[in-house]
């Protein structure tokens, strides 16, 4: 990574962190883009060059995960099917308490997810990120019609599993308490995918 790219990445992170701190304190809809730009010591036009929409200030944290399913499929062993690789990766994420799986009770992560799921415009924008994730996965699978259908089902299943896990945590369960049921739900979901898709 070049120095310029590193600086750009650091700016992305600093602006996003400043924005999220303000959103958590006052609420997403009560903080203007101009206030975020002022807090980050950049102009509003500069902010929009980094983040095309206000919602992207929050969802920037998902950007690294956008092509994660596609990367998992591309990096799998030749003897492992795409679905098996994604299943294994999701279970590994649960074990690591990866926030993307929803099974994470770190207070800062919980606050972030409450902000995300409690703000309709953020939820709507999240679907755009997931749509790009779906397209990347479809391409990794071969980009035929059946691959696009499979990718759509897989991404939706992972989203629903993550949301169910977060709901348990938000209701007061610890990640350790919810882990067993999260694994069981993932096993059932991937078994249903495997059966429905007719592939291993």
- 89 token code pair: 């990766």
pLDDT-based confidence at residue 197 (cuts at 50, 70, 90) = low
pLDDT reported for residue 200: 46
pLDDT in tens, 45-102: 999 999 999 999 999 877 778 899 999 999 999 999 999 999 999 999 999 999 999 9
- Residue 35: pLDDT above 70? yes
- Residue 2: pLDDT above 90? no
d(CA 93, CA 109): 15
pLDDT reported for residue 161: 97
- 102 token code pair: 């929803």
d(CA 76, CA 148): 19
- Residue 5: pLDDT above 90? no
Average pLDDT over residues 1-28: 88
- 198 token code pair: 């007719």
pLDDT reported for residue 164: 96
What value does the mean pLDDT of the chain take?
92
- 110 token code pair: 């919980």
Q: Which span out of 9-13, 127-131, 168-172 was modeled with the highest average pLDDT?
A: 168-172
- Residue 199: pLDDT above 70? no
**Is residue 172 left, alpha or beta, with left meaning phi > 0 and alpha meaning psi from -120 to 50?**
left
d(CA 198, CA 128): 28
Average pLDDT over residues 129-147: 95
- 173 token code pair: 């369960």
d(CA 130, CA 116): 14
Q: What is the DSSP letter of 101?
A: G
- Residue 4: pLDDT above 90? no
d(CA 199, CA 142): 14
Q: What percent of the chain has pLDDT over 90?
A: 78
Looking at per-residue pLDDT, the higher value among 68 and 128 belongs to: 68
pLDDT reported for residue 32: 95
């Amino acid at each position: 990574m070049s120095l310029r790219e590193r600086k750009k990445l650091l700016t992305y992170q600093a602006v996003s962190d400043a924005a999220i701190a303000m959103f958590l304190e006052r609420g997403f809809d009560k903080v203007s883009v101009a206030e975020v730009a002022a807090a980050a010591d950049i102009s509003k036009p500069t902010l929009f060059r980094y983040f095309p929409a206000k919602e992207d200030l929050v969802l920037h944290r998902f950007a690294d995960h956008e092509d994660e399913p596609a990367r998992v499929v591309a990096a799998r062993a030749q003897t492992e099917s795409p679905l098996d690789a994604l299943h294994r990766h999701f279970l590994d994420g649960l074990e690591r308490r990866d926030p993307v799986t929803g099974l994470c009770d770190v207070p800062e992560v919980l606050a972030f997810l409450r902000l995300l799921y409690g703000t309709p415009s953020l939820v709507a924008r999240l679907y755009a990120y997931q749509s790009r994730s779906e397209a990347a996965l479809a391409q990794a699978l071969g980009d035929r019609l059946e691959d696009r259908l499979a990718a759509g089902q897989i991404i939706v299943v992972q989203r629903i599993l993550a949301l169910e896990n977060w709901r348990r945590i938000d209701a007061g369960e610890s990640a350790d308490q919810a882990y067993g049921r999260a694994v069981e739900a993932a096993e059932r979901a991937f078994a249903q995918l495997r059966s429905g898709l007719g592939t291993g």
